[in-house]
Amino acid sequence: PYMYWWSGSMRSDDCYKGGGGVADAVGSFGNISLFTYVNPNTGALDGTWYNSYQVIQRCNTAIQKMQPISEEDFPVKNSRMGEMLFLRGFTHFRLKEFFKYIRSFTLYRLKKLWKYVPYIDENVVGMSDAFEAVPNRELDKGNDLYLWQRILDDFKKAEELLPLDQMDKGRVSRNA
């Protein structure tokens, strides 16, 4: 879900998808490129939303499973918790960040869908109805700053837990 090509450059009209014409686009990229027939069910948009919340749920599941384990039994617990918080925060951030690219889609009213996103953390448990009950906008809040604060809190907690350097290549460190 993090292909900057279509979610940033192409949607903001900074690039063309390439190829021999609009018909050769995979999925909905041709429509996004031309700003035509774009709606909340457009494949690339809907797929990004779905895949992002899969990432968030996997992070939350890992956090839930690690909480009862002691550091003696799992010496890298803090590091792994920090990784999950970072990935969850980054995924929520990307969902919120899409808002700035959607400004050119005001005709389709998509920006209202992405400015406010359901913030789901490890405390949301149960079946799909529990997740569907989480609103994408808390009406008692005057704006979306509370979502930015929750994302920032994830990053701050991750920074506290992550080591400065990771032994394993490819793992997120405090520098991220």
Kindly report, residue by residue over 16-58, the tens digit of the pLDDT: 556 666 666 555 667 766 667 777 677 667 777 888 899 999 9
Residue 10: both structure tokens together: 């192409």
Kindly report, residue by residue over 51-106, the tens digit of the pLDDT: 889 999 999 999 999 999 999 999 999 999 999 999 999 888 888 765 444 444 43
CA 45 from chain center: how many Å? 12
Residue 159: both structure tokens together: 């920074």
The total number of residues shown for the chain amounts to 176
| H or E stretch at 114 | helix 111-115
- Which of the residue ranges 33-42, 121-130, 156-165 has the most confident prediction, judged by mean pLDDT? 156-165
Give the span between the Cα atoms of 19 and 173, in whole angstroms: 39
